[in-house]
């Protein structure tokens, strides 16, 4: 008698599981992992959308999903890693994707479980996921996550963050503000676009400004609700850029900065673009060649070179230095939800040391009486206010001109810190 062959995984689930495996078990950033998984072969645009939703949605709510599954399995950790991911993604679908019938989620997950030879996981998957479907209403109620735990443990379960992050925010910002940050990181970020450098910017500006769903406008940047899509994407496509990051730059009033500006942690050039929009002369650097390649492609007029800002000597003396500092990224968990599952408290010490080295180097390289602009995308005083305070204490000749942070009420679901220092 011929053995039953499991059905192949539906494309969106195949891509999502591959992306999550690369992200959580091989250390790739989530978007890079998703891009790699999508590049394996042609995928229908509808499957691309579902794969993206499954990947990011699961990462945002992973802690809650793990708690649910641990109530129906004696030892969730004994499942092979990819099988555990499959059960988690299927549970996510059942609980949070109304358009996907529960039976369809159970079906593909059970079929996938059968691909593990000799493990006999099909029956286990079927039993656990049917319990999730049968008790979905209860599993969406916060009271389910309050059972047998302390209030801090509840926050970790319900808001799907490691305990240390919830504790850090409560200590640093107080209960009410911490809850705002916890809620924000469960949701997708606003979609931001920047028209600078687009050949049709003059024509596109009034069209975008006239859309009912626009949340905010700053210069040539726009904020739209999460998941917004344009009916006809222009060619070349609009440059995507965090609007909250734009707000952080604008809070430091770049129109008053002196040129040239050294964007010393430029990445792909998002903030370089804003400085150019303000008419500043900019040269840029980053230690990662891949990011620099993207910057050169998008902004070919900018002089760009590979350098580590902790010890680099710029090709000429900058009047202003912009430091988009490496940080723990706790302010942009809505955009990079994998970060919360990869960071640990030990990382903070290493990061603050690196930040201090970069800031000290900038103080040596900037012209006398020049300015240093500091920006981070984290919610941790040691990497923000504490960093600047320690720098000023060690450099009594410097003074703080401006200090700013995204309002906890922001609808953008991303949070930045910014400071402007006169050297």
With respect to residue 4, please indicate whether it lies within any of the assigned structural domains.
no
Report residue 26 CA to chain centroid gap. 18
Could you tell me if 401 and 277 lie in one domain?
A: yes
Residue 394 sits in which domain range? 191-422
With respect to residue 25, please indicate whether it lies within any of the assigned structural domains.
yes
Q: Is the pLDDT of residue 112 over 60?
A: yes
Left if phi > 0, otherwise alpha if psi is -120 to 50, otherwise beta: which for 247?
alpha
CA distance 314 to 150: 52
Q: Is the pLDDT of residue 155 over 70?
A: yes
Contact at 8 Å (CB) between 22 and 33?
A: yes
pLDDT at 106: 97
Report the range of poorest mean pLDDT among 4-13, 231-240, 259-268, 348-357. Answer: 4-13
Could you tell me if 111 and 181 lie in one domain?
A: no
Report residue 369 CA to chain centroid gap. 35
| Rounded alpha-carbon distances, angstroms, from residue 272 to 41, 237, 260, 261, 323 | 34, 18, 12, 9, 11
pLDDT tens string 172-224: 999 999 999 999 999 999 999 999 999 999 999 999 999 999 999 999 999 99
pLDDT tens string 373-417: 999 999 999 999 999 999 999 999 999 999 999 999 999 999 999
Residue 180 burial (10 A CB sphere; 0-12, 13-18, 19+): middle
Q: Which has the closest alpha carbon to 369: 316, 318, 410, 407?
A: 318
Could you tell me if 180 and 206 lie in one domain?
A: no
pLDDT tens string 78-92: 899 999 999 999 999
User: What is the pLDDT confidence band of residue 5, given thresholds at 50, 70 and 90?
Assistant: low
With respect to residue 317, please indicate whether it lies within any of the assigned structural domains.
yes
Question: Edge-to-edge strand order for the sheet containing 191-194?
Answer: 216-218, 221-224, 191-194, 239-240
Structural domain count, the chain: 3
pLDDT at 85: 97
Could you tell me if 277 and 216 lie in one domain?
A: yes
Q: Is the pLDDT of residue 6 over 90?
A: no
pLDDT at 7: 80
Q: What's the CA angle centered on 314, arms 313 and 320, to 5 degrees?
A: 120
Count of CB atoms within 10 A of residue 345's CB? 12
Could you tell me if 234 and 315 lie in one domain?
A: yes
With respect to residue 80, please indicate whether it lies within any of the assigned structural domains.
yes
Share of residues in the chain with pLDDT > 70 (%): 98
With respect to residue 3, please indicate whether it lies within any of the assigned structural domains.
no
CA distance 233 to 56: 23
Could you tell me if 178 and 267 lie in one domain?
A: no
11-26 vs 45-72: helix axis angle to the nearest 10?
60
Q: Which has the closest alpha carbon to 263: 372, 352, 400, 351?
A: 372
With respect to residue 145, please indicate whether it lies within any of the assigned structural domains.
no
pLDDT at 2: 47
pLDDT at 263: 98
Could you tell me if 135 and 229 lie in one domain?
A: no
Could you tell me if 318 and 208 lie in one domain?
A: yes
pLDDT tens string 220-248: 999 999 988 887 888 899 999 999 999 99
User: What is the pLDDT confidence band of residue 168, given thresholds at 50, 70 and 90?
Assistant: very high
Q: Is the pLDDT of residue 170 over 70?
A: yes
Residue 75 burial (10 A CB sphere; 0-12, 13-18, 19+): exposed
pLDDT at 4: 57
pLDDT at 119: 64
Could you tell me if 270 and 342 lie in one domain?
A: yes
Could you tell me if 203 and 182 lie in one domain?
A: no
Query: What's 382's domain CATH number?
Result: 3.40.50.150
**Per-position DSSP letters for 205-228, written without gaps between them:** HHHHHT-TT--EEETTEEEE-TT-
Query: What's 87's domain CATH number?
Result: 1.10.940.10
Could you tell me if 277 and 327 lie in one domain?
A: yes
pLDDT at 1: 42
- Mean pLDDT for 5-26 is 92
- The residues facing 187 across adjacent strands are none
With respect to residue 302, please indicate whether it lies within any of the assigned structural domains.
yes
Could you tell me if 85 and 178 lie in one domain?
A: no
With respect to residue 135, please indicate whether it lies within any of the assigned structural domains.
yes
Residue 150 burial (10 A CB sphere; 0-12, 13-18, 19+): exposed
């Amino acid at each position: 008698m011929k053995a039953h062959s499991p059905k192949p995984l539906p494309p969106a689930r195949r891509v999502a599981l591959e992306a999550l495996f690369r992200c959580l078990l091989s250390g790739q950033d989530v978007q890079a992992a998703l891009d790699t998984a999508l590049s394996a072969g042609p995928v229908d645009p509808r499957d691309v959308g579902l794969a993206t939703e499954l990947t990011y949605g699961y990462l945002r709510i992973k802690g809650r999903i793990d708690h649910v599954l641990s109530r129906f399995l004696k030892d969730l950790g004994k499942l092979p890693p990819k099988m555990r991911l499959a059960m988690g993604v299927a549970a996510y679908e059942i609980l949070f994707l109304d358009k996907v019938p529960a039976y369809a989620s159970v079906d593909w997950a059970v079929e996938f479980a059968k691909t593990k030879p000799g493990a006999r996981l099909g029956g286990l998957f079927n039993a656990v996921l049917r319990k999730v479907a049968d008790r979905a209403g209860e599993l969406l109620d916060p009271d389910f996550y309050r059972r047998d735990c302390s209030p801090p443990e509840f926050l970790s379960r319900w808001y799907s963050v490691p305990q240390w992050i919830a504790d850090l925010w409560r200590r640093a910002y107080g209960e009410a503000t911490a809850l705002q940050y916890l809620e924000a990181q469960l949701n997708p970020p606003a979609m931001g676009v920047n028209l600078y450098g687009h050949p049709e910017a003059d024509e596109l500006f009034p069209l975008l400004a006239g859309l009912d769903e626009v949340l905010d406008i700053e210069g040539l940047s726009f904020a739209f609700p999460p998941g917004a899509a344009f009916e006809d994407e222009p060619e070349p496509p609009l440059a995507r850029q965090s609007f909250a990051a734009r707000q952080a730059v604008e809070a430091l009033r770049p129109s008053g900065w002196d040129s040239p500006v050294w964007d010393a942690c430029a990445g792909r050039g998002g903030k370089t673009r804003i400085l150019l929009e303000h008419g500043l002369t900019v040269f840029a650097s980053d230690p990662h060649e891949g990011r620099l390649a993207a910057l050169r492609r998008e902004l070919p007029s900018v002089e760009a070179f590979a350098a580590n800002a902790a010890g680099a000597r710029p090709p000429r003396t900058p009047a202003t230095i912009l430091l988009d500092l490496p940080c723990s990224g706790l302010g942009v968990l809505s955009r990079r939800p994998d970060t919360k599952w990869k960071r640990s408290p030990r990382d903070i010490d290493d990061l603050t040391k690196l930040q201090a080295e970069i800031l000290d180097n900038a103080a040596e390289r900037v012209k006398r009486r020049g300015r240093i602009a500091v920006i981070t995308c984290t919610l941790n005083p040691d990497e923000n206010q504490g960093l600047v305070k320690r720098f000023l204490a060690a450099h009594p000749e410097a003074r703080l001109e401006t200090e700013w942070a995204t309002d906890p009420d922001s609808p953008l679901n991303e949070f930045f810190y910014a400071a402007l220092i006169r050297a």
